[in-house]
Chain A
Amino acid sequence: MIVEFLQRLDRTARNCTPIALCVTLVLMSTLPLGLPGYWRIAPNLVLVVVFYWAIFRPDLLPLSVAFGIGLFQDVLAGTPLGLHALILVTVHHVVSNQQRFFIGKSFLVVWWAFTMIAAGAAALMWLVTMGLAFTFVDPLPAVFQFFLTLGACPVLVWFFARLHQYILR
């Protein structure tokens, strides 16, 4: 009985990995690093998390959870409530609908697809921000952020693949 309970607890804890990753990265993205100008163009790491798990284990990171994490990110970052939620939900929906395309493909193909998704996400965020503020917003920081996120993608995907292999099996 106890063994069974512990096993279940263990499985649940393992299955929470993607959500825990998201929450940790959201919290980490708000730490005061003291690097000049860094915080204006910090890469959007949570986007990579949602992208990866929406392809490989959407059951562990469902659409509603992506929405919740987006809201959490909005509350902490001070962005308009719903902005990140909209982005993450859209990315999740698009990616999980194309799941078959990704499975079994080489990393370069996945990265190429991520380029498209991240570009779309950055453009959407830029447009919605402008719409909410009713003014023109300089797109350059968003472009920088896009490239930084693109650069962070391989490292994170490698890390998630290890986690996937060892923790979730």
Chain B
Amino acid sequence: MAKQRTGTATRIAVPLRALAQRFAFFLLVLSAFALMLLGKAETVVIERVRGGIVDVVSPLMHVAAEPLAAVSRGIETLHDLFSLREENTRLREQNARLLEWQTIALRLTHENAHYRTLLEFVPDPNATAITARIFADSSGVFVHSMLINAGSRDGVGRGQAVVTGAGLAGRITTVGERSARVLLVTDLNSRIPVLVESSRDNGILAGDNTRDPRLVFLPQNSVVAPGDRIVTSGQGGVFPPGIPIGVVGSVGEGVIRVRPLVDLDRIETVRVINYPGIEGVLPAERAAPARKRP
């Protein structure tokens, strides 16, 4: 009798368990899709939670990254020691060249300032910068981004430009209190208003997860040749105008690729630029529509 009852129980329990498992699976898959859609809409709560979680684990990642950084520093020191003499000669030559440039730049700055006073030119608002270290290359196959060790308490905000000495690396997307995520210019979701430095044609630099982002939405009659420099246009008031991004690498059939100036594989520290943008010049009510831009 008892045996029979156990048998019945198992007969009911086993399919029930299978059913529950299948139900749990569908429920989790549904929630995964729901989260993806919510994230696509850039919900504030989700962004805040993301920033918060990264804040919590960032000390752990700092600790883990330290030995690796020490090893790579050691290798670099050895490498530097071997090439000391060549490097010295190269730098001397470069220094001489740069001194010449400095003279020219100083003369042009004065000249420019003079013309600006003559024309009563409205100056660009002053940008301030925060220097931060990259503590995680959280990039994978489908996303190109990095985490930096500065957040909202240091004045980092969403949309700010992230640069290195060479040029623009990306922009801030998610901000935590102590950390922030940099979306690199090569990422699929990166769109930056740019212009071709020589012809002043406006366009958009669109990342597509390859090494060289594409230059799109140029005026129809514009002529672009390999070697042309691409800089930020400052349209939208988020980025300061004139930050170099890259040079045109190849002009194919309808596809113009831009090689970024920043070596995205080897960035260690970056500067986050806080640009007051259009709000700094215009009264608040006129600046309001511009602020809506992402």
Q: Identify the A interface with B (CB < 8 A).
A: 27-37, 39-42, 63-64, 67, 70-72, 75-83, 85-86, 89-90, 93, 125-126, 128-129, 132-133, 135, 137-138, 141-142, 144-145
The listed residue (A32, A63, A142) touching B136 by CB distance below 8 A is A32
The listed residue (A27, A33, A133, A145) touching B141 by CB distance below 8 A is A145
Q: List 11 A-B contacts (CB under 8 A).
A: A31-B136, A32-B134, A34-B265, A63-B25, A77-B139, A78-B173, A79-B142, A80-B39, A81-B39, A82-B36, A132-B40
Q: Indicate if the CB atoms of B35 and A82 lie closer than 8 Å.
A: yes
Q: Which secondary structure dominates chain B's binding surface?
A: helix
Q: Indicate if the CB atoms of B29 and A89 lie closer than 8 Å.
A: yes
Q: Which of the candidate stretches B5-13, B57-65, B81-89, B112-120 sits at the interface with the other chain?
A: B57-65
A70 vs chain B, min Cβ distance (A): 8
B95 within 8 A of A: no
Residues of chain B from 42 to 92 with CB closer than 8 A to chain A in the complex: 46, 49-50, 53-54, 57, 60-61, 64-65, 68-69, 72
Q: Identify the B interface with A (CB < 8 A).
A: 21, 24-25, 28-29, 31-36, 38-40, 46, 49-50, 53-54, 57, 60-61, 64-65, 68-69, 72, 134-147, 173-174, 181, 183, 188-189, 208-210, 265-266, 268
Q: Indicate if the CB atoms of B36 and A30 lie closer than 8 Å.
A: no
Q: Indicate if the CB atoms of B36 and A75 lie closer than 8 Å.
A: no
Residues in A whose Cβ lies below 8 Å from that of B268 = 32
Please measure, in the bound complex, the distance between the C-alpha atom of A71 and the C-alpha atom of B36, giving whole angstroms.
Answer: 11
Residues in A whose Cβ lies below 8 Å from that of B69 = 32
Q: Which secondary structure dominates chain A's binding surface?
A: helix
Please measure, in the bound complex, the distance between the C-alpha atom of A29 and the C-alpha atom of B65, giving whole angstroms.
Answer: 11
Q: Indicate if the CB atoms of B139 and A39 lie closer than 8 Å.
A: yes
Q: Indicate if the CB atoms of A78 and B138 lie closer than 8 Å.
A: yes
